[in-house]
Amino acid sequence: MEYAALHTSVCLPRVHRTYQRRNGLFIAMDFVQGTHLDTLWPRLDDAEKRDIVAQIWDSVRQLHACRPPASLKDVAAASISGGPVRDGAFGLGDDGPPSTGPFAGPEDFLQLLSEIPAADGFDRNPAHTGFVHADLALRNIIRTDDGRICIIDWEFAGWWPLYWERIKWHFADFPPTPDFVNLMDELSGQTRAATSEAS
Beta strand 149-151 pairing with 85-86 = unpaired
Q: Is residue 158 part of a domain?
A: yes
Structural domain total, the chain: 1
Domain extent at residue 176: 34-188
71 sits in which H/E element? none
Residue spans of alpha helices (H) in the chain:
2-7, 37-40, 46-65, 106-113, 163-171, 178-188
Q: Is residue 66 part of a domain?
A: yes
117-147 pLDDT, tens digit per residue, is: 888 889 898 889 999 999 999 999 999 999 9
Is the per-residue pLDDT at 170 higher than 80? yes
Return the SS3 of 157. Answer: coil
Separation between Cα atoms, residue 27 and residue 144, nearest integer Å: 21
Exposed/middle/buried for 172, CB within 10 Å: 0-12, 13-18, 19+? Answer: buried
Q: Is residue 2 part of a domain?
A: no
Q: What is the DSSP letter of 158?
A: E
- List C-alpha distances in Å: 22 to 19, 85, 98, 147, 171: 10, 20, 18, 39, 31
pLDDT at 17: 81
pLDDT category, 190, cuts 50, 70, 90? low
Q: Is residue 14 part of a domain?
A: no
pLDDT at 19: 79
Is the per-residue pLDDT at 194 higher than 50? no
Looking up residue 52, the CATH number of its domain turns out to be 3.90.1200.10
Q: Is residue 27 part of a domain?
A: no
Q: What is the mean pLDDT of the chain?
A: 88
Separation between Cα atoms, residue 2 and residue 5, nearest integer Å: 5
66-105 pLDDT, tens digit per residue, is: 999 999 988 999 999 999 998 988 876 666 677 899 999 8
Q: Is residue 197 part of a domain?
A: no
Separation between Cα atoms, residue 152 and residue 155, nearest integer Å: 9
Lowest mean pLDDT among 6-15, 20-29, 55-64, 160-169: 20-29
Q: Is residue 10 part of a domain?
A: no
Please answer whether residues 161 and 124 qualify as being in contact, where contact means their C-beta atoms are separated by less than 8 angstroms. Answer: yes
Separation between Cα atoms, residue 167 and residue 150, nearest integer Å: 21
Q: Is residue 119 part of a domain?
A: yes
